[in-house]
Amino acid sequence: MNKNLKPVYLLAGGRRSRRKGPDPLLEAVFKGFAIKDPAVAYTGTASGDDKDFFKWIAGSFTEAGADKVTHAIIAPSGADLKKARKILEAADLTGIVAAQDRDFDSVRELAERLGLAQRP
């Protein structure tokens, strides 16, 4: 197994809440890896990499402690996958919000297409 692989988190839908303050799940992720002010790469295939949704979720990441959140756009046809891969590789943590209807197979295929997945 490649020891240089970074953690990737798959966040399924239903994360919106009326709570005030940082998202406790995101705070736990950041604490769990002891990364202060992490750089986060985000791709949102379920939303078609919607810019407004990205702004909303990037705010959630920064409120929970992320220093920088970069949008690695991969969903639209013609997306620059080389650029997206560089963004994903440069981040401390990668958040992929892709799992509408818990379609994790499409996330795995996406990671393989970007060259970020490792088969067992």
Q: What is the pLDDT of residue 8?
A: 66
pTM: 0.72
Asked if pLDDT for residue 98 goes beyond 50, the answer is: no
Cβ burial, residue 50 (10 Å; 0-12/13-18/19+): middle
Q: What is the pLDDT of residue 44?
A: 79
Task: Give pLDDT tens digits for 64-96.
Answer: 899 999 998 887 888 888 898 888 888 887 665
Q: What is the pLDDT of residue 70?
A: 92
The tokens for 55 are 């702004």
Task: Give pLDDT tens digits for 39-69.
Answer: 888 887 777 888 998 898 899 889 989 999 9
Q: What is the domain partition of the chain in residue ranges?
A: 8-12+20-113
Q: Give the whole-angstrom CA distance, residue 20 versus residue 18.
A: 6
Rounded mean pLDDT of the chain?
75
Mean pLDDT of 32-38: 79
Q: Judge whether 7 and 94 are in contact, CB under 8 Å.
A: yes
